[in-house]
Structure 1
């Protein structure tokens, strides 16, 4: 062990050593005051008195702070050495083993196991054993007989057993104490970091206790809700949010009037920890709704910028083809070449028209009129619309939707989302009966998932990240806006459109609430 480790270990044992010093002084005092009543010192009273008075003096001197000049470890070793010598001396002048001093020596051996490290406890057990055996041998030689030899041997074995046991227990206790201190320091550092993070958060943060009163509030919350907001305050405006969070585990409201001017703010609450059902502290995040709208607007502008740049690039190609074909058409006299040029112009013009139509559909993203739409008749109507060619085409679609399946969504938006997904599935599927499957699944939290799966080659792993990006397509005749628009319309309805990583064909799922 290093010097720093030894110094720390000595510092940790300061309190136990002080307690044992008091115990040593009490024992010495009892020897002096109540020795005769305890039946001690009967064989040599004068020697007993001198020995116990000296022990009292030693206990007083060694227990004072100036004794630390010897160094803690050397002082403790000296104290236990004197203890065992004095106790054996008291035993010798009090009739030997029958005086009961050997039992008291066991307490001192146990104390040595707690207060010193390494092999020293065994060393002191050895000293106690040698001294007791020497006393017993002297008594046998002086007074004759050795009737206490067996009991003395048992006591000496007990010395070593106690020393080993206390040494192991003390080592384990010190290990646990070290671990606890390390964990306490780590917890303190983590708590300081968490408090600093909360202090610097852009959102307001409130922590409500079990009694509904504030436990903690950060500066941003004071800025939003008023400078007088402090721990211990009661906020009636958030009682409903806290109660809803305790009931369901979370609460989210986009607009809640809060603060002195009752500005609309977003309030999001969740249980910080769960002590039991509906119990625990509640963590509430407060965001100024103006900041939310500003962030949404920035995201819209960024998306619009990306879309505009992509559209400029995508329109330029067919427009160049139209321009070049028109120039050649004026010069070309052959009828078959003129027909081919006219066909090129028509194809590229229709491609531009589809692109403009898709972008116009994206512009209607915010025109949402949601309803609890029954999915079975809505999907059947869409499939019927797409399969006017006959029963063979209708057989490609396997529709498995229960009559009670509903989705909280705009009817026109659902139509466009499903049509776009089915157009992709029809393009890549095998064309066999049941190649495209539509089925629903009930999810926790009153949610419904609509699955659309085809048996085609699926989406390549390196293309999955870009599948919802605008103008990302593997079809030379496609615009690449279908899936992008489908996801945007799903987001506008509070739903999610995802591509699941299934083996085989493409597997899209549209999930959202069943009811308002």
Structure 2
């Protein structure tokens, strides 16, 4: 035997908000119907034939209808009782009250029975078809009982049962149609929900894959709005991309945004590596269109050219490094003997100026070769880094004092600009060696005035990254010289070995840091980017 069920698949506590909104809108419809009946009866009752058989019943029923709707507004807002009970109560009360209004207005011929069709359709759709047949059966029973009452007690014709029967058939037809539509709506809703879950999972997988890539990745739409990005892209661009809101690519990297606009006009365009001023890195940019035939955006790959060049350089210099280390060991002893013999010859008396000059040339070049040997041997020990937390302010003040004393430089020539409470993760002796080399080069090329050399410590846009800049007021490095700046044995001075900056960069990389030249005008600027905070 079929029994109407008030059970829904969704628990009352988990009922979605849109179910309650639907019930609220249905109740507002009922409130309007009740209000219209009440006002119409008072103003146009005689004209519209409302309540012609029982005016008092019609008026009281209309007022009661409005009162129930007002109470329902409160119960829906409180969400108590449960959703299924409130829905059943509203539809059942609709059926009873509309049939009472119909009875007071002359029965089936009043036409008010058609309002039951709207109530049944609304109740069936809101219940997702679960109670459609129950509502139709209940409405049929009430309508037939009302017609039976009229035949038995009000002397109506029994032929009027035909109209009631047709109306009852329309109830079941409406219930069946609403149930079918509700079934399709539920299936579509479930499918949309599943698709949403699948899309969310796919987006999460995509984000995990993107985050795990060594290259920087940006996903932008046709308007240049960043939709997705990974940490590598933020590091390469030297920015932090906020994912909570849509942001224009131009806000983070105007040059990259210009590349993107050019690419949108010409997909075959080839671009020069992009130089990032914030960290001095050179970035190779590659665009991949999204959206098939109609481009709706682009996938931007960012490759760190500096890393690729460094890897190629490491492979090329690996064998050379081992060879030069062996050679350095082999020539150190003969070099020491040459230097010692030259010193003894210089101490002899009776030498003319030409001989003294020749001996001095031998001694200077011996000293230069000995420095080169020491640099090569030191380069082989670069990986022995003992990284520690170094308070930036205390370390740099001590360094400046020692450097000025040893190099015989006025202390006023070097100024410090340090953000408070900054710590640097670095090997202490390695950091001292790198800064010593950079400051010595800066002093050699600066104007040798007060604050000609500036040591600046700032926090980068990327979290836990510290920037240590060595800036001088000299002529800077020429554009032609910059590509070879960190290559070994590259120098513009006769007294230099060409290994200082190369070794400094290698030491920085051994400490998980980077050393780059930042092109500024006027002057020169070298930037060390290293980890800060907890090592």
Give TM-score scaled by structure 2 length: 0.49
- Alignment counterpart, residue 59 of structure 2, candidates 42, 49, 64: 49
Map of 1:290 onto structure 2: 306
Given the alignment of the two structures, is residue 144 of structure 1 paired with residue 161 of structure 2, yes or no?
A: no
Query: Which deviations, in whole Å up to 9, do the C-alpha atoms of 1:105-143 show, x marking residues without a partner?
Result: 110111121122565211111111122122222223322
Evaluate the alpha carbon distance shift between residue 178 and residue 46 of structure 1 in structure 2; reply closer, same or farther with a 3 A threshold. same
Query: Which deviations, in whole Å up to 9, do the C-alpha atoms of 1:348-392 show, x marking residues without a partner?
Result: xxxxxxxxxxxxxxxxxxxxxxxxxxxxxxxxxxxxxxxxxxxxx
Name the SS of the counterpart of 1:126 in structure 2.
helix
Map of 2:31 onto structure 1: 25
Q: How far is the alpha carbon of 1:14 from its aligned partner? A: 0.7
Query: Which deviations, in whole Å up to 9, do the C-alpha atoms of 1:284-326 show, x marking residues without a partner?
Result: 2111223223445678899xxxxxxxxxxxxxxxxxxxxxxxx
Contact in 1 for aligned 2:129/2:180 (Cα 8 Å): no
- Alignment counterpart, residue 283 of structure 2, candidates 242, 265, 269: 265
Distance 2:40 2:8 in 1: 45
Contact in 1 for aligned 2:274/2:285 (Cα 8 Å): no
State how 1:214-363 maps to structure 2 within 5 Å. Answer: 217-227=229-239, 231-234=247-250, 237-238=255-256, 241-242=259-260, 245-246=263-264, 256-260=273-277, 263-274=281-292, 276=294, 279-296=295-312
Map of 1:175 onto structure 2: 187
Q: How far is the alpha carbon of 1:155 from its aligned partner? A: 1.4
Map of 1:482 onto structure 2: none
Map of 2:361 onto structure 1: none
Distance 1:178 1:93 in 2: 45
Map of 1:372 onto structure 2: none
Give the number of the structure with larger relative contact order, counting CA–CA contacts within 8 Å between residues 6 or more apart.
Answer: 2
Contact in 1 for aligned 2:12/2:82 (Cα 8 Å): no
Distance 2:176 2:225 in 1: 54
Name the SS of the counterpart of 1:271 in structure 2.
strand
Distance 2:73 2:151 in 1: 36
Contact in 1 for aligned 2:256/2:274 (Cα 8 Å): no
Distance 1:92 1:245 in 2: 75
Distance 2:79 2:225 in 1: 52
- Alignment counterpart, residue 49 of structure 2, candidates 25, 29, 39: 39
- Alignment counterpart, residue 113 of structure 1, candidates 99, 116, 124: 124
Q: How many residues align?
A: 300
Evaluate the alpha carbon distance shift between residue 146 and residue 275 of structure 1 in structure 2; reply closer, same or farther with a 3 A threshold. farther
Runs of 5+ unmatched residues, structure 2 = 1-6, 319-535
Q: CA RMSD in A?
A: 3.4
Map of 2:104 onto structure 1: 93
Give TM-score scaled by structure 1 length: 0.51
Contact in 2 for aligned 1:246/1:271 (Cα 8 Å): no
Name the SS of the counterpart of 1:284 in structure 2.
strand
Evaluate the alpha carbon distance shift between residue 131 and residue 236 of structure 1 in structure 2; reply closer, same or farther with a 3 A threshold. closer
Given the alignment of the two structures, is residue 184 of structure 1 paired with residue 201 of structure 2, yes or no?
A: no
Given the alignment of the two structures, is residue 156 of structure 1 paired with residue 168 of structure 2, yes or no?
A: yes
Q: How far is the alpha carbon of 1:272 from its aligned partner? A: 2.7
Distance 1:2 1:90 in 2: 32
Runs of 5+ unmatched residues, structure 1 = 303-516
Q: Which sits farther off after the overlay, 34-43 or 60-69?
A: 60-69
Evaluate the alpha carbon distance shift between residue 99 and residue 210 of structure 1 in structure 2; reply closer, same or farther with a 3 A threshold. same
